[in-house]
Structure 1
């Protein structure tokens, strides 16, 4: 008898290995498909085509992959459920008699149906449990009443404060704050659509959270209102060249960073009087409300520049071209975007002097959403999507683009 049980346990283990291997191939197929889709969505059709035929990947994506995914996943889940339920109950060909080894010794993989991996019950225990079924049935009504009351309490709590506790990881629609006047990062077109690296990151993150492009709404935000729109719930997240600082982190929760940029200086073409940050002494430097970039110059490095206030960096660049200021200093990604649309009128010095970590702003306390977004950002760099997007938007500007996963700050 024990030999039969051992052979049967071996058969079960073999089945589990078979399905584990099948699922691993299925996941590899998904990874390749996501990589190809990200490249194609980023406009790099040639690279997407090369990735499509890459022999290092076990399968090749095709247009009907999504339907294939769902069918294969459903079949795996359905079969695994049947096996696990039978093992747990001691039924059918998967039955386990008294005295057998504990089921935990051949625990199913973590992707299997919930409820697997429990210890086998003896025949006497199963009979006792079957005898308790009638009592369980009688108690069902009482349990249902308490469950209904609990649900009512939760419903009231959600209606009273749901806006404060809901995570972006659980939403089916997202409102995302972005810049609308920064070329290469967030720029609103004449048709009302938004384009740029930050916008593409927003679409990527939303898609991995299960929110389709049609369910994403962009809202333009200025530097001095990013914390406020997160606090009052006007937006669900902010992806708008949002540098992580201790002061801001006290008011909101930051995921990321999704990019580490460096502060640089934009000057007029032909201006030889400014070669580095120290040369800004006595020069007119643009000061954008809500930005910390000017502080890096005048406060941290004590360079006595003359500050000229502005509402946005697009206004700063217009003032630079119009000789209203002598320099604009901020993150190199912002400056690179403006340099691409204002050449040959302006140039970037390429003399970086700080590290600025761009984070994704979330409502304070959304740790679940923060952790989910961090996993997505890691994937974005590992599958090459980040590199593709960065090259697409800033590849024409001569400066170093970081393409490795930035070290995360941790969710708080």
Structure 2
């Protein structure tokens, strides 16, 4: 991959490659006890910086919406996002690098047995504010009411506090919460599949976007992403197919 000095400046105008990291999605990014971020997203960020011969600066956020805002406003040079048309107004996405399932969680005593029963009058569904699930369900739910928790990891706590009928989010996060909080269960299957991609500000142009797209395809093809999922013990996320 050939990157001219001009294109390098477009990708990293400050001289450092600023990566927006959302630790609200624990499948891809977390904070260690030392306060440092780790995970698949961080591995990809460092890899992209190495490719370009630049130093990486991690800009860490606790919610997806904040990460989206930072990249859209060019306060970060790229980030890791679930692909969504609303976000696409200010961000150019690569093809997805991993696929993640979204699921519903209810209380054990709930009459709900199936995902198709969620969108009913009187049902309140808790999602993380600005998350891919929030954006998707805002479009798709016609009768149920959406309640928003501050971040995705706080969805189940908000669900309990509000006495809501349904919680929605990353399947593995909800499974962990169901083990943490007694009396909860997941509805079978999934209600959506998240396409997790990398992205950069729309204004950076097609040449810059092409560099990032090629990087993602190379990381999928080389086995880097599959190895990172194994290395970080991630279950429930799969490597996305190669872009045609």
When normalised by structure 1's length, the TM-score is 0.49
Inter-partner Cα distance in structure 2 for 1:323 and 1:278: 22
**1:407 aligns to 2:238 (yes or no):** no
Inter-partner Cα distance in structure 1 for 2:163 and 2:38: 28
Inter-partner Cα distance in structure 2 for 1:207 and 1:347: 43
Match of 1:386 in 2: 225
**1:229 aligns to 2:65 (yes or no):** no
Aligned pair partner of 2:130 in 262, 287, 290: 290
When normalised by structure 2's length, the TM-score is 0.77
Inter-partner Cα distance in structure 2 for 1:347 and 1:200: 33
Aligned pair partner of 1:363 in 192, 198, 201: 201
In structure 2, stretches of 5+ residues that fail to align are none
**1:311 aligns to 2:150 (yes or no):** yes
Match of 1:275 in 2: 113
What is the Cα-based RMSD across aligned positions, in Å?
Answer: 3.3
SS at match of 2:127: strand
Inter-partner Cα distance in structure 1 for 2:104 and 2:52: 36
Residues 128 and 148 of structure 2 are in contact (CA less than 8 Å); yes or no, is this contact kept in structure 1? yes
CA positional deviation for 1:368: 2.5
Inter-partner Cα distance in structure 2 for 1:298 and 1:171: 36
1:130-145 aligned at under 5 Å gives the runs none
Pair member with larger Rg: 1
Residues 286 and 309 of structure 1 are in contact (CA less than 8 Å); yes or no, is this contact kept in structure 2? yes
SS at match of 2:82: coil
Residues 169 and 368 of structure 1 are in contact (CA less than 8 Å); yes or no, is this contact kept in structure 2? no
Aligned pair partner of 1:201 in 20, 36, 44: 44
SS at match of 2:86: helix
- Cα deviation code 1:281-307 (max 9, x no counterpart): 3333113332342454464253x3232
1:2-401 aligned at under 5 Å gives the runs 166-168=9-11, 172-212=15-55, 215-220=56-61, 222-239=63-80, 242-268=81-107, 270-271=108-109, 273-280=111-118, 281=120, 282-294=122-134, 296-297=136-137, 299-302=139-142, 304-320=143-159, 324-330=163-169, 334-337=170-173, 339-340=175-176, 343=179, 345=181, 348-366=186-204, 367-393=206-232, 395=234, 397=235, 399=236, 401=237
- Cα deviation code 1:210-238 (max 9, x no counterpart): 335xx432331633334432243311112
Inter-partner Cα distance in structure 2 for 1:275 and 1:295: 24
Inter-partner Cα distance in structure 2 for 1:305 and 1:196: 34
Structure with the higher strand share, 1 or 2: 2
| Bigger relative contact order, structure 1 or 2 (CA pairs below 8 A, ≥6 apart) | 2
Inter-partner Cα distance in structure 2 for 1:348 and 1:171: 45
SS at match of 1:329: strand
CA positional deviation for 1:354: 2.6
SS at match of 1:290: coil
In structure 2, relative to structure 1, the CA distance for the partners of 1:194 and 1:365 (3 Å cut) is: same
Residues 63 and 131 of structure 2 are in contact (CA less than 8 Å); yes or no, is this contact kept in structure 1? no
